[in-house]
Amino acid sequence: MENKMFCFQCQETARNQGCTVRGVCGKKPAEANMMDLLIYVIRGISYYANKLDKIDKETGEFIMRGMFSTITNVNFSEDRIYEYVKEAFKVRDKVAKKAGNIDEELPEQATWYSDDLDEIRKKAEEEGVLTTENEDIKSLRELLTLGIKGMSAYYHHAYILDRYEDEITKFMVKGLSATIDDSLSVDELVGLVMECGDNAVKTMKLLDEANTSTYGHPEPTEVNIGVRDNPGILISGHDLKDLEELLEQTKGTGVDVYTHGEMLPANSYPFFKKYDHFVGNYGNSWWKQKEEFEKFNGPVLMTTNCLVPPKDSYSDKVFTTSVVGFDGLKHIPDREGGGQKDFSEIIELAKKCDSPEEIENGTIWGGFAHNAVMSVADKVIEAVKNGDISRFVVMAGCDGRFKDRDYYTQVAKELPDDTVILTAGCAKYRYNKLDLGNIGGIPRVLDAGQCNDSYSLAYIALKLKEALDLDDINELPISYDIAWYEQKAVTVLLALLALGVKGIRLGPTLPAFVSENVLNVLVDKFDIKPIGEVKEDVKAMMAGK
């Protein structure tokens, strides 16, 4: 049967091969194909931009925003993606004029154009992953593209907070233009994938600086997971600027604000603690939202990816903003002229809603980003040297629906009492509510924050290496047991590889977009391995294997 679409960018892709009829995420063929066309035109933009000495910020912002819009669970609207395609044509024309006359045959991505929707849909059906026939070239092009997608998400968050670096933008256009260059060899593409990892580190560092300079360094915090009697607004996704503006606009309204999913770490930033109507976190990981959004009773604001197609019972209460799109949901427009987003409609709706239904109570710890951990570094180092801490296990990354992700819960339970789990991203919801105790006052689960805060884990590792006077990061008593789901986790993985980390366990499945030969390269060079049986994996990790 002819494919209606083809997408294999997430961990849950059908049969671990690719979604061809409808995305497991809920994405329909029309949306998937239009995303393929958007990436096609952005590659054309990048072809021209790669020939410029300097890329203007507007072009850089569009590339990061356009790529971000194609990440899993961000956009489910063909109309919204079509608007991006039309904008992409305009940006491409502008950049092409700056590039001037080019004395070579232009790739079709740099020239194809139509303003007819039917023609555009037909072209969208023809483009995409499967146009590259060589399996290894296809694999490396996709690994590079998906790494840049994740970078784009992190970069866009930094851009919202007035951070921009020409060097990062230049790599993005270099990498994307390379994916349409048929002259590049496998070795050259492998080099670009590694370069993507280097730039991923720079991007996450930039975002860390943007967040901490704006909202302060996260500090160890007991986050409330219960509810109050007031009506509430639930904010999900990753965008701290949206949270700031929502909190300002809800002051004195009698409406409380709760975080959900990857917004949990916001509770640990000093800036947000001044709002007495900022209650805490409601619920768990993104994939449980159909049950939890319904029980919350009030409106929900989706600021970035992690949207699951909503049930009819609460869809009239879900609002999208920024790159998020879903047909039938109300969308909050972007800021104009340095102003704020207008959340008044959400606030007025919240006032008419019942207070949230309590689904759990108590507190959980957060806020153990690099600054907090480094403030007690002497205590940590002493605990390592005297044997109170035998090993750190990095269990960062994503959560998902697959039952075999219970592996990570079982690993947390199986690890000896003298081990510390370092985490970031929504993977933490598999174990952050377990009673695992502490070691000399140091909690056994140190949550650094969102997936982009994986930079903190790398920073901590490098500082420990320095403090313990080691020559190689792999000599540290640290094991890596990473869960992945979408493209930002791919970016984090490439960042860890760029830092020289070896022996990473990756699960619950290995990526479908990595060919056998490319996987062999990663295994040979970095000793990447699949997760296995819990007891055996824990035994191996404790032995440093």
503-542 per-position pLDDT tens digit: 999 999 999 999 999 999 999 999 999 999 999 999 999 9
Q: Which structural domain, as residue segments, surrounds residue 327? A: 222-351
Q: Are residues 380 and 281 in the same domain?
A: no
Query: Based on the domain organization, do 299 and 382 belong to the same domain?
Result: no
For the whole model, what pTM was predicted?
Answer: 0.97
**Residue 239 shares a structural domain with residue 104:** no
Q: Are residues 314 and 415 in the same domain?
A: no
pLDDT at position 1 is: 53
Tell me, yes or no, whether 231 and 286 share the same domain: yes
Q: What are the CA-CA distances from residue 191 to residues 173, 182, 257, 521 (Å)?
A: 15, 15, 45, 12
* CB atoms near residue 348 (< 10 Å): 12
User: Residue 320 is inside which H or E element, if any?
Assistant: strand 318-321
Instruction: Return d(Cα 124, Cα 78) in angstroms, integer.
Output: 11
Q: What is the mean pLDDT of residues 165-182?
A: 98
Per-residue pLDDT band at 338 (split at 50, 70, 90): confident
Percent of residues, the chain, with pLDDT higher than 90: 97
Q: What angle do CA 501, 502, 504 make, to 5 degrees?
A: 100
Integer CA distances (angstroms), 159 to 185, 196, 234, in order: 33, 19, 24
Q: Is residue 357 part of a domain?
A: no
Arithmetic mean of pLDDT, 315-339: 96
Q: What residue type is assigned to position 7 of the chain?
A: C
Question: Is residue 356 in some structural domain?
Answer: no
Band (238; pLDDT cuts 50, 70, 90): very high
How many domains would you assign to the chain?
3
Which domain-ending residue is among 324, 351, 378? 351
Q: Are residues 58 and 203 in the same domain?
A: yes
CA nearest neighbour of 344 among 307, 313, 319, 310: 319
**Model confidence pLDDT, tens digit, residues 20-40:** 999 999 999 999 999 999 999
For residue 8, name the pLDDT band (cuts at 50, 70, 90). very high
CA dist 172 and 187 (Å) reads: 19
Q: Quick one: 247 and 380 in the same domain?
A: no
For the cut 90, the answer to whether the pLDDT of residue 2 exceeds it is no
On the question of pLDDT at 109 being above 60, the answer is yes
Q: Are residues 338 and 383 in the same domain?
A: no
**Spatial CB neighbours of 212, under 8 Å, sequence gap ≥ 6:** 218, 369, 371
Please, what is the average pLDDT of the chain?
96
Average pLDDT of the residues in 358-375 = 96
* Residues 151 and 65 occupy one common structural domain: yes
**What number of residues does the chain have?**
545
Task: Give domain status of residue 4, yes or no.
Answer: no
Q: Which of 164, 179, 214 is the last residue of a domain?
A: 214
pLDDT-derived band at 97, boundaries 50, 70, 90: very high
Q: Is the same domain home to 226 and 210? A: no
Could you report the per-residue pLDDT of 469-480, keeping only the tens digit for each?
Answer: 999 999 999 999
Residue that is last in its domain, among 159, 183, 214: 214
Identify the pLDDT of residue 115.
Answer: 97
Report yes or no on 168 lying in a domain: yes
pLDDT band for position 156 (cuts 50, 70, 90): very high
